[in-house]
Structure 1
Amino acid sequence: MGDAGKAVRWLQVTAPQGGPDDLPALVTRAAPAIGATEIVVYLADYAQARLVPLLGAGLVRDVLPIDTTLAGRAFSSLEVQHAVDGADRLWVPLLVGCERMGVLEIVSPAADDPGLEAPARELAVCVAQLLVNRRPYGDVIELLRRRLPMQVAAEIVWGLLPPLTFATDEVMVTAILEPCYDVGGDVFDYALNGDLLSVGLFDTCGHGIKASTLASLVVNSYRNARRCGLDLVDTASSIDKWVRSEHPNLFATALLGELDRRTGRLRMINAGHPGAILLRDGKAVRELPGPTALPLGLGHLSSRRPAVHEEDLHPGDRILAYTDGITEALSADGERFGVDRLLDFVHRALNDRLPTPETMRRLVGAVVTHQDDELQDDATAMFLEWRPPRSPLAHLDALTAAAPESVPPG
């Protein structure tokens, strides 16, 4: 089969000389190196409901739904999909590390040859990295992912967020946020420094610009405290101070956590937030204690410093955190989505062994459907997993199905 290494090297040298608009043509020019006639990039839209083609000159493709197509199955399962109708194409997940971006459509007379999968995956990893690297220099990639106009409040929040998914051999954190185009109050962040994984999930009061500007202050003060080396209690106190200083009549609920990926020791502060849920062996064990502090911005109402809850996780344990927009989502007849429905959904997804990011995508879809596609509040959820090498879950939920080792130069 073709030499993907040669195509990868050529793309890495050539792509930085152009803008984001040039990527489709460059990717197509790399097709012959792996025995393909066409390669088309599809990117997931913000709602992760559709795959949208990034087309070069002369190519015509339709937008594809994720839930009912082979392309969507490649995105959801993170596995290469071969056309079953005799078509000469295969679909390859586009991953940056563990972050799902979309899929590659590779048209080749050898599409049914298993030997094509390895070079296709290698090329897909390169293309995904180029998309991320070139995205800041133009708007074509950003605009392609938008199926509706984005409000300014949502623009602010999406500009704050890290990638939705991050994983190592020991830990994974993945999150999802809805609605995509008019969010304002929810935001999350995480960072791995040495063996310490720090996570924060925040729900600011209000909606629109006021909520998103408060979210911007909260997440940046969180990052500043973390980067200044403050411990968990002082981090919460610092955020509280800045909220009270700049927005004296507002507040934010929060979960602040630190997980030692060597030992599984989890330390957490719950500042007026819904309680996180501990899952073990695919089932909910209990809700973690909370709140252990007042919402951020209201700390002056108590003389007590934030209390830290400590939990020793077992290998394979998961922590599910969420904002009240998940559980308080109301159906047309006034029925809440609720914690029981949330846990039932998560149990079934875990039993089906879905990749964790796919569980999150489907969870938010279920919440949106429950409200007849009209969310009354932001709905955000986050999964934190600890899976040391001795754990049976010490894999990347098929996310390691990225590139094989580079093909050596011929």
Structure 2
Amino acid sequence: MNESERPRLLQYDRWRLVRLSPVVLTCVIAGLAYTTPPETAFSRLLPAAPALAAAMWPVLPTVLLGTVCLLLMIGLSIVFPDLGTWWTASGIIAVTVAAAYGSHVRLQRERTLFHVRLVADAAQQVVLSPMPRRIGSIEIESLYLAAAAEARIGGDFYEVADTRYGVRLLIGDVRGKGLPAVGAAAAIVNSFREAAYSEADMVSVARRLDASSTRYSVAFPLDGPVERFATALLVQIPHEGGRIEILNCGHPPPLLLNDGELCPLEPTSPSPPLNLAELIGDHYTIDAFDFAVGDLLLLYTDGVSEARARDGGFFPLAAWMRQQPLSSPHELLAALHRDLLRYNRGRLNDDIAALAVRLREPSE
């Protein structure tokens, strides 16, 4: 058996045992009712079995279990004539009818949730399309966690494009949550997919992203005076490595790890967040940094650096990053995923997106 499949099989076995719990409960109650004195009246607990079945079974099996409980009650009344059969039988019938209705409502909600998940998965494919894990000597890995577990996707976004100018990366975060944020993120990502290939410099790419974000905000305005905007980070990596170029539009600075030395790649001059260039000016600054073979570059959204523990403390991302070995991007993000969920005990305050990049030897 594959080691990766074992936890899944164990989870399936546990769920199968849970689904059998109404049958087990019925057998236990019937056994106790038969082996204990009549005045103990364990038989009065039989209505609990169909009530439990409604939480996990379809309508017909729930009704069948209620019928079995009713027949068991009639059988027990033959053995013990003074059990108060009709009162308990009436309770079993009433609970079974209510349980069947509850099972029907639950199934309808599950179908609705299933279709919502299909829509969310489709939206995720639009905004967060599968990324290549390696482009030439550049190794890339991505991580995305939605704050709402059922939502599957939120306002964080990322994309990569292998262009003639180099490998271009985008990561960003739309202010707000829900479908409006997803729509704004999709507009920005789709614009990047076109501009990254056609524009020779990243300033022009940033202006295209800002224009797309502005058009989307005009077409789908928010209620109230709040302005929609998005932070974004553009990175250009030459195919052969060397020096990378970064354009930071109000986004948390990426972290570069090199032989245990951690360097936050801060911008020399701030560039405007997307959709705010008309308000605060459209002056964009590109900074260049060394990026050598073996270096690890981490791009992330503020959901990572601002993840909170129960005591209110932020996740110590810089200190955590210094402790990481120069491993593969996949191992780095797997450790980040694990430690973030452990730090805030599985309760995300915001969506989380991250990209890890490493330059490998061309011969590797």
Smaller-chain TM-score bracket:
0.5 to 0.7
Q: Distance in 1 between matches of 2:278 and 2:165?
A: 33
Query: Residues 164 and 332 (structure 1 numbering): CA distance in 2 closer, same or farther, change over 3 Å?
Result: farther
Query: Residues 147 and 240 (structure 1 numbering): CA distance in 2 closer, same or farther, change over 3 Å?
Result: same
Query: 1:232-381, aligned counterparts within 5 Å?
Result: 232-248=202-218, 249-289=227-267, 292-337=270-315, 341-350=316-325, 353=327, 355-381=328-354
**Which residue is equivalent to 1:97?**
none
**Which residue is equivalent to 2:79?**
none
Q: Which contiguous aligned blocks of 4+ residues in structure 1 show a shift greater than 6 angstroms?
A: 39-43, 146-149
Structure 2 counterpart of 1:225, which letter?
Answer: A
Aligned residue among 173, 183, 200 for 1:213: 183
Residues 297-352 of structure 1 show CA distances to partners (whole Å, capped at 9, x for unaligned) of 10112344311111232222222111110111111121111xxx22333333316x
- Answer yes or no: is the 8 Å Cα contact 2:329–2:357 preserved in 1: no
- Percent sequence identity over matched residues? 26
Q: Distance in 1 between matches of 2:234 and 2:228?
A: 19
**Which residue is equivalent to 1:190?**
160
Q: What TM-score results when the alignment is normalised by the length of structure 1?
A: 0.55
CA displacement at 1:41 relative to structure 2: 11
Structure 2 counterpart of 1:219, which letter?
Answer: V
Q: Distance in 2 between matches of 1:384 and 1:344?
A: 19
Question: How many residues matched?
Answer: 254
**SS state at 1:247 partner:** helix
Q: Distance in 1 between matches of 2:335 and 2:299?
A: 16
More strand by share: 1
**SS state at 1:316 partner:** coil
**SS state at 1:275 partner:** coil
Residue 160 (structure 1) aligned with residue 135 (structure 2): no
Q: What TM-score results when the alignment is normalised by the length of structure 2?
A: 0.62
Q: Distance in 1 between matches of 2:155 and 2:129?
A: 16
Structure 2 unmatched ranges of 5 or more: 13-112, 219-226
Query: Residues 148 and 311 (structure 1 numbering): CA distance in 2 closer, same or farther, change over 3 Å?
Result: farther
Q: Distance in 1 between matches of 2:2 and 2:291?
A: 43
**Which residue is equivalent to 1:174?**
141
Q: Distance in 1 between matches of 2:245 and 2:125?
A: 27
Q: Distance in 2 between matches of 1:240 and 1:369?
A: 36
Q: Distance in 2 between matches of 1:171 and 1:299?
A: 32
- Answer yes or no: is the 8 Å Cα contact 1:172–1:384 preserved in 2: yes
Residues 170-203 of structure 1 show CA distances to partners (whole Å, capped at 9, x for unaligned) of 2112110113642311111002234611100011
Structure 2 counterpart of 1:237, which letter?
Answer: R
Q: Distance in 2 between matches of 1:282 and 1:215?
A: 34
Residues 193-245 of structure 1 show CA distances to partners (whole Å, capped at 9, x for unaligned) of 34611100011111111111111101001111123335211110011011112
- Answer yes or no: is the 8 Å Cα contact 1:267–1:308 preserved in 2: yes
Q: Distance in 2 between matches of 1:147 and 1:357?
A: 30
**SS state at 1:237 partner:** helix
- Answer yes or no: is the 8 Å Cα contact 1:274–1:322 preserved in 2: yes
Q: Distance in 1 between matches of 2:115 and 2:331?
A: 22
**Which residue is equivalent to 2:174?**
204
Residues 118-155 of structure 1 show CA distances to partners (whole Å, capped at 9, x for unaligned) of xxxxxxxxxxxxxxxxxxxxxxxxxxxx9997385565
**Which residue is equivalent to 1:93?**
none
CA displacement at 1:157 relative to structure 2: 2.9
**Which residue is equivalent to 1:124?**
none
Q: Distance in 2 between matches of 1:258 and 1:42?
A: 35
Structure 1 counterpart of 2:129, which letter?
Answer: P
**Which residue is equivalent to 1:383?**
356
Query: 1:217-236, aligned counterparts within 5 Å?
Result: 217-236=187-206
Query: 1:387-402, aligned counterparts within 5 Å?
Result: 387-389=360-362, 395=364
Q: Distance in 2 between matches of 1:225 and 1:164?
A: 18
Query: Residues 280 and 160 (structure 1 numbering): CA distance in 2 closer, same or farther, change over 3 Å?
Result: same
Q: Distance in 2 between matches of 1:148 and 1:279?
A: 42
Q: Distance in 1 between matches of 2:304 and 2:290?
A: 27
Structure 1 unmatched ranges of 5 or more: 1-38, 44-49, 53-60, 65-145, 396-410
Structure 2 counterpart of 1:314, which letter?
Answer: A
Query: 1:108-147, aligned counterparts within 5 Å?
Result: none
Query: 1:11-26, aligned counterparts within 5 Å?
Result: none
Structure 2 counterpart of 1:196, which letter?
Answer: G
Structure 2 counterpart of 1:356, which letter?
Answer: P
Query: Residues 195 and 290 (structure 1 numbering): CA distance in 2 closer, same or farther, change over 3 Å?
Result: same
**Which residue is equivalent to 1:101?**
none
Q: Which moved more, 1:156-165 or 1:300-309?
A: 156-165
Query: Residues 191 and 63 (structure 1 numbering): CA distance in 2 closer, same or farther, change over 3 Å?
Result: farther
